[in-house]
Amino acid sequence: MDLSKLPNDMKLQLCKSYFKVGCLFLPFVWAVNVCWFFRDAFIKPAYDEQKLIKKFVIMSAIGAFVWAVILVTWITVYQTNRVSWGATGDALSFIVPLGRA
């Protein structure tokens, strides 16, 4: 879909619905929202709907960032501590590596 061919109110609609979908524990949708509408929100010359689009893009960015921090922290903790957690570590794992701890 080419954003340049859409009227501005449809762009706002799209941005809003992507934001709403991202609330369903889908941080990547928020990240996509940010990348896709970044130009329209910050670089294009001002138009009516731009204020709202900017708001949604910023909120998506914050949301994606928070998710990224949480995920990176959890992944680091898990990867470094899985072996020392013993049985709990195995219970948390979907794929347990073969042939080693």
Partner 1 sequence: MSLKHIYLLVTIILLIFKGYSCERLHELIYSSIEGSAACFRRLNGTHQTGCSTSDKGAVGVVHFVQDHDDVLWLATNASAGPYMAVVSTSKFGLVEFLIDHPTNIAGVLTYENASDIPSFFTHDTRCPNEFSSADGNQCSSSKEGGVVWNEKGTGLLKREIPFPIFFIPESRYEEIEKISHCFGRFNYDKNNQRGRSLCSIQLNSFMFAAINTEVCMRRSATSTIVTTTKVCDPLGDQNVYYSLFPRTKESKKQSITLVTARIDSASLFDGVSPGAASSVVGLVTLISAAAALAQLIPVSKSNLYETNILWTLFNGEAFDYIGSQRVAYDIKRGVWPPNAPLAPTDVKLHVEIGQIGGSLSDYVNENTWPLNAFVPTLAPSTINDGDNDIQIFLKQLSNAYNMTIPGIFNGSLPPSSIHSFRRILSNVTESGEMLEMLLVDHKETFTNVFYNSALDDSDKIAYVYKNISMINNVTFISTAELIADGLMKETDTQVKISRLATALAHALYQRVVGEAYTGNITVSAHLVDEMLYCFLKNETCKLLSAAEFGGNEGPREGAGPAPLYVGVTSWNTVAPVFAGHLLALLTGTQLSLNKSQCETKPESGYTRLWLKGWNHNGVCIETTMNFSQALSPAFIISDYDFKSGTYSTWTESVWQTMWARVFVSASGGSACVAAATGAVSTLIAALLTFWLRRHSSLIFVDPPSATIVVDDAASGILRSVNC
Is 68 a binding residue for partner 1 by CB under 8 A? The answer is: no
Angle at 7 between CA 37 and CA 58, to 5 degrees: 25
Closest of 48, 99, 49, 101 to residue 79, by C-alpha: 101
Is 94 a binding residue for partner 1 by CB under 8 A? The answer is: yes
The residue range among 4-12, 24-32, 63-71, 83-91 that interacts with partner 1, by the rule CB under 8 A, is: 83-91
Tokens 């501590």 belong to 81
Is 99 a binding residue for partner 1 by CB under 8 A? The answer is: yes
Provide, rounded to whole angstroms, the least separation between the CB of residue 88 and partner 1: 11
Closest of 53, 56, 29 to residue 41, by C-alpha: 53
| Binding footprint of partner 1 on the chain (CB under 8 A) | 86-87, 90-91, 94, 96, 98-101
